[in-house]
Structure 1
């Protein structure tokens, strides 16, 4: 191979590398929990799976994942994981059923708190949200960094709801400790909670007592299928920090208002749950 061909090959590879960097976003995934978590990532339909789809993240640690700008998908945290008697990797909450640390195209078994993204969507904007439609297992915060356009605001659910979960939705370990809070759709399968069948349109499917439990605690998170107005956020060309178990009070102080001017707190200050007080899940009123 002559020197001119080597030089042109090097320039081409350098261009590809630069083009790839320009057309990618970074997700910095941070574990602020006091225990290990195993983040899982799932690409949406017609979107290739990422090189990593699951990994261990120790307390206080972070990992940055490069994401294509055209990507859509979701990520979540798995907890209380290990090998079962058949040497398969399993988790008590958020398990993806792959039998491995990598989820390899499998999604979270509800209940699980989900961070959902569509990058470079309509108008070149990223669309992102934190969803409790499939239930809840961990506090989570999404923060957009270096973006433009849209409102680029933080969103999430900052409170630990497992201890306050209504008893009929509660998922617990054998020792009684809460590991998740199911959605009413999963718990009861009723179309009015699932927004299906005769309840399959936004004018008919309305918030329920159960979805309001989630909404009052976490005003910016999706609480049921048609909860779009206060739960979808947009930004352009941003990188994202996804924090598990963020400190609620510092986050509230830093990200108390949407950048588009709408007054909407990350935490409803009238509804800070204390697990030992609300262990039976009796309070659905927010008082």
Structure 2
């Protein structure tokens, strides 16, 4: 029997899910029907902004947001799952009940300062995460929603079906996500993730709250994934600039996400478009096609194959993977690091000691890993069919999670000196 949506959120948001679980969770989130958005050109500008912090109470953790983009951004939240809820059992403080499945999910609740809609260039907000008696204080992910109406709905990216996202439901990918689990007496885990594509540059970083626990020098300890500043001499900052040339060919029309123009016009290149429109990929239901429109983000090969497992060139999602390279079945499964078996079990990570060449991965990125370990094996089919598209993402942001087993260069931890973890965080849209 497969895992439910709540089960997947519970394990994945606590940093304990398998790649199969992560892939299925993202598939559930992305396989909702998007609306057809109105055109809006996505632009980024880095400006200096600092949140006006409220005073969070004892034991609470501050999570602040800063919008440095040239457009308004609405905060999206996908909370991890907790206990069952219903008429006779309400959710604990800091969680809300989704009555569709009677499950509690972490929420950020009402901001202590600001609101969910962040004004262009200067918008800020702060949330006070309630103290908890259990091991986990908060778990889930946050993202940015763009091109929304005045109420923060009907968005071009991060859309939730024309309404506020209910507890536990994420917005339609592609969206950039900051994923984090805040723990009461242990290290927090956090990352910036673009496995399923990109809609906004994002950075997550600790911003005080308490002195950090003393640890050996490690860029993945209390660092800032998604930030533009290098973490050391070899772990560079993110340019958030996407080079669409893969293998010597420009695939911009397949990688660019656009809001289609009105009237809709099919295209194969920018030269087919007029009025400043660009050629890119558009999702309509379960199908993908190239149309002229305004740029609103970038697709990943993993997300394209998740929407349409039969999508052809250049991703070749339905292409067979040789049995000698593992029981993946198709390239779509190879993107997700899952096997072509009942329940889509996880493939072996190529970072695992004793891994064979039927594992999933593995790129020896030109960046340090969190523990110094490099690939223990390499799957040639993955290197040929998947790595070029993963590199498209990773080159734009070396500290971002770019494929399901990218933990070694993407997972960050932080803990305060005191027995109770009290580190606060700031998430910035369009950092710089």
TM-score of the aligned structures, taking structure 2 as reference length: 0.48
Match of 2:52 in 1: none
Relative to structure 1, the CA distance from residue 65 to residue 102 in structure 2 (aligned partners, 3 Å threshold; closer, same or farther) is: farther
Match of 2:349 in 1: 202
Match of 1:29 in 2: 65
Cα distance in 1 for partners of 2:193, 2:405 equals 11
Cα distance in 1 for partners of 2:110, 2:168 equals 10
Relative to structure 1, the CA distance from residue 130 to residue 145 in structure 2 (aligned partners, 3 Å threshold; closer, same or farther) is: same
TM-score of the aligned structures, taking structure 1 as reference length: 0.70
Deviates more, 1:101-110 or 1:203-212: 101-110
Cα distance in 2 for partners of 1:36, 1:43 equals 23
Cα distance in 2 for partners of 1:100, 1:192 equals 34
Cα distance in 2 for partners of 1:246, 1:32 equals 6
Match of 1:155 among 205, 225, 229: 225
Cα distance in 1 for partners of 2:428, 2:198 equals 15
1:182 aligns with 2:271: no
Match of 1:96 in 2: 160
Relative to structure 1, the CA distance from residue 229 to residue 24 in structure 2 (aligned partners, 3 Å threshold; closer, same or farther) is: same
How many residues align? The count is 223
For the 8 Å contact 1:72–1:117, the answer to whether it is kept is yes
- What whole-Å deviation, never above 9, does each CA across 1:94-126 have from its counterpart, x for those lacking one? 1133x33454432021100000001117x6111
How do residues 1-287 of structure 1 correspond to structure 2 at under 5 angstroms? 21-46=57-82, 47-52=105-110, 55-59=116-120, 60-68=122-130, 70-82=137-149, 89-97=153-161, 99-101=162-164, 103-120=166-183, 124-146=186-208, 147-149=211-213, 151-156=221-226, 158-161=238-241, 164=244, 166-175=252-261, 176-188=293-305, 189=309, 190-197=332-339, 200-203=347-350, 204-206=359-361, 208-236=387-415, 237-247=422-432
For the 8 Å contact 1:137–1:162, the answer to whether it is kept is no
- What whole-Å deviation, never above 9, does each CA across 1:35-88 have from its counterpart, x for those lacking one? 1111111211214333249821111110001123510010000001127xxx99
For the 8 Å contact 1:55–1:102, the answer to whether it is kept is no
Cα distance in 1 for partners of 2:243, 2:389 equals 15
Deviates more, 1:60-69 or 1:234-243: 60-69
What SS is found at the alignment partner of 2:254? coil
For the 8 Å contact 2:158–2:171, the answer to whether it is kept is yes
What SS is found at the alignment partner of 2:156? strand
Match of 2:20 in 1: none
Relative to structure 1, the CA distance from residue 90 to residue 162 in structure 2 (aligned partners, 3 Å threshold; closer, same or farther) is: farther
Unaligned runs of 5+ in 1: 1-19, 248-287
Cα distance in 1 for partners of 2:149, 2:409 equals 37
Cα distance in 2 for partners of 1:233, 1:32 equals 23
Alpha-carbon RMSD across the aligned residues, in angstroms, is: 2.6
How far is 1:234 from its partner?
0.7
For the 8 Å contact 1:56–1:101, the answer to whether it is kept is no
Relative to structure 1, the CA distance from residue 171 to residue 140 in structure 2 (aligned partners, 3 Å threshold; closer, same or farther) is: same
What SS is found at the alignment partner of 2:390? helix
For the 8 Å contact 2:109–2:127, the answer to whether it is kept is no
Cα distance in 2 for partners of 1:22, 1:66 equals 10
Cα distance in 1 for partners of 2:67, 2:166 equals 19
What SS is found at the alignment partner of 1:209? helix
